[in-house]
């Protein structure tokens, strides 16, 4: 009776797990005391699945659930809980990697079909991670309620998710290469014939469409980002913010080359190579953007420093002008027998070595009305008389 009761509980738990996996929400999240039970159900589900292919697919399904949990926790700004879900996501994919490696079928074609199905599932999960990454970045920017440290942590969590799937991608490639060799040995077909057969299977399973769409999107994104960078660079150059553009233009030229190679690979239906080249171009563009950003920031800091350390105060009275100049630690005061602003600016320029434009930009003119001057003089004379 006890055994029957235990089996019944296990069946209920597995049923609940299946329902939860099919839902589009995160379900039980790491901030709940039930999360441990949720994970245990997932592991039990895997334990009771014996076929390595099915085990791999269920592992990716569980990883998708962990991704939803990461998203939910980031949106609620529960970053420690998001970190926990991310770590579980990684542990799950480590098991997927192991199961992919251990897939063995009597028929090599059946084996590679299974691996391609898993690869398709993983590609779809990668797209979900990208979508999650983009959605969260937009929400974070709109809310604007978190610190830079929190933003950095969120970026770290989401980038880690991408890296975790990369390990499985490598194992899938290794498995496919190994199976290709087996097919050649067993069938006597040429490498080209085997490649064509595998391409047909990838088309049949829908993997080709996913890879093609992904590569096309990456190429388009790289081209758009490159155009924006070039426009931004031209704008800052016209404003005199960039003294040496070579480090930036070198990266731009390399990015253009990568994009060109990506487009060539795409035309040849080599979508993996196309995506890789476009992604490399994106990295070059990001590096160039960082250099440009730092260059502009340095220019603005220097300009701000100059404005803070340079001050020209000009007071114009009835028939004369008093000038007070502070440049760094140096100070200069003098009086001019004129109230003509152009003459004043020229004189300050001659005495300081600053250009007329610089003087015009820095000088602060104050004009005192004649009546105010007379009133001040009257007050001074009255004070002097009282002192006597």
| pLDDT recorded at residue 383 | 61
Residues with Cβ within 8 Å of residue 247, at least 6 apart in sequence: 288, 291
Question: Could you give the 3-state DSSP secondary structure of residue 31?
Answer: coil
Instruction: For 38-58, write each residue's pLDDT tens digit.
Output: 999 999 999 999 999 999 999
Which residues 6+ apart lie within 8 Å of 345 measured at CB? 356, 359, 360, 363
Residue entry with tokens 């039930």: 34
At 262-275, the pLDDT tens digits run 999 999 989 989 99
Q: Is residue 311 part of a domain?
A: no
Mean pLDDT in each 10-residue stretch from start to end of the chain (388 residues)?
46 46 67 91 91 95 94 88 93 95 92 95 92 80 70 80 89 93 90 91 92 93 95 90 89 96 94 93 94 86 63 82 80 86 88 85 73 57 60
What DSSP letter does each residue of 284-348 carry, written as one string?
A: HHHHHHHHHHHHHHHHHHHHHHHHHHEEEEEEE-SS-EEEEEEETTEEEEEEES---HHHHHHHH
Co-location of 96 and 179 in the same domain: yes
Which pLDDT does position 132 carry in this prediction?
87
Tell me, yes or no, whether 312 lies in a domain: no
Q: Are 326 and 287 found together in one domain? A: no
Beta bridge partners of residue 331, listed in sequence order? 326
What pLDDT, on a 0 to 100 scale, did the predictor assign at position 234? 92
Are both 48 and 154 inside the same structural domain? yes
Mark which of 286, 306, 326 sits at the end of a domain: 306
How high is the pLDDT of residue 15?
Answer: 47
Sheet containing 330-336, strands listed edge to edge, beginning at the edge strand earlier in sequence: 330-336, 321-327, 310-316, 363-367
Is residue 89 domain-shared with residue 164, that is, in the same domain?
A: yes
Q: Are strands 330-336 and 310-316 parallel, antiparallel or unpaired?
A: unpaired
The verdict on 76 and 56 lying in the same domain is yes
**329 part of a folded domain:** yes
**Are 259 and 355 in the same domain?**
no
Nearest 10 degrees: CA dihedral of 227, 231, 234, 238?
Answer: 180
Mean of the per-residue pLDDT values for the chain? 84
Paired strand residues for 367:
316
Contact 224, 280 (CB under 8 A): no
Per-residue pLDDT tens digits for 187-197: 899 989 999 99
pLDDT of residue 318: 73
pTM: 0.66
Domain containing residue 223: 210-306
Task: Quote the DSSP letter at residue 357.
Answer: H
Decide if 86 is inside a domain. Answer: yes
Q: Say what the pLDDT of residue 227 is.
A: 96
- Number of structural domains (the chain) is 3
52 and 165 together in one domain: yes
């Amino acid at each position: 009776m006890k055994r029957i009761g235990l089996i019944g509980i296990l069946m209920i738990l597995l049923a609940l797990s299946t329902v939860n996996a099919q839902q589009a929400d995160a379900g039980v999240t790491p901030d709940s005391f039930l999360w441990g039970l949720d994970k245990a159900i997932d592991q039990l589900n895997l334990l009771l699945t014996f076929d390595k292919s099915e085990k791999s697919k269920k592992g990716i399904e569980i990883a998708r659930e962990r991704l939803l949990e990461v998203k939910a926790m980031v949106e609620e700004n529960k970053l420690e809980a998001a970190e926990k879900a991310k770590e579980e996501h990684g542990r799950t994919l480590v098991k997927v990697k192991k199961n992919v490696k251990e897939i063995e079928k009597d028929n090599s074609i059946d084996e590679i079909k299974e691996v391609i199905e898993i690869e398709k599932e993983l590609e779809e999960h990668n797209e979900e991670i990208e979508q999650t990454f983009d959605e969260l970045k937009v929400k974070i920017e709109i809310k604007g309620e978190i610190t830079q440290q929190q933003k950095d942590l969120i970026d770290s969590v989401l980038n880690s998710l991408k890296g975790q799937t990369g390990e499985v991608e490598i194992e899938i490639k290794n498995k496919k290469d190994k199976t290709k060799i087996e097919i050649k040995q067993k069938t006597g077909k040429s490498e080209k014939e085997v490649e064509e057969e595998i391409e047909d299977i990838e088309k049949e399973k829908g993997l080709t469409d996913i890879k093609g769409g992904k590569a096309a999107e990456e190429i388009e994104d790289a081209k758009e980002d490159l155009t924006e960078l070039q426009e931004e660079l031209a704008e800052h150059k016209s404003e005199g913010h960039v003294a040496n553009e070579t480090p930036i233009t070198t990266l731009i030229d390399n990015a253009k080359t990568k994009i060109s190679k990506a487009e060539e690979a795409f035309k040849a239906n080599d979508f993996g190579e196309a995506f890789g080249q476009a992604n490399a171009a994106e990295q070059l563009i990001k590096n160039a953007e960082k250099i440009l950003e730092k260059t502009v920031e340095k220019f603005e800091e220097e300009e701000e420093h100059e404005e803070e350390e340079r001050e020209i105060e000009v007071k114009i009275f009835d028939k004369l002008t008093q000038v007070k100049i502070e440049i760094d630690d140096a100070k200069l005061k003098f009086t001019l027998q004129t109230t003509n602003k152009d003459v004043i600016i020229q004189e300050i320029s001659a005495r300081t070595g600053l250009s007329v434009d610089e003087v015009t930009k820095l000088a602060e003119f104050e004009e005192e009305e004649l009546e105010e001057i007379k009133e001040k003089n009257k007050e001074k004379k009255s004070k002097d008389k009282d002192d006597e």
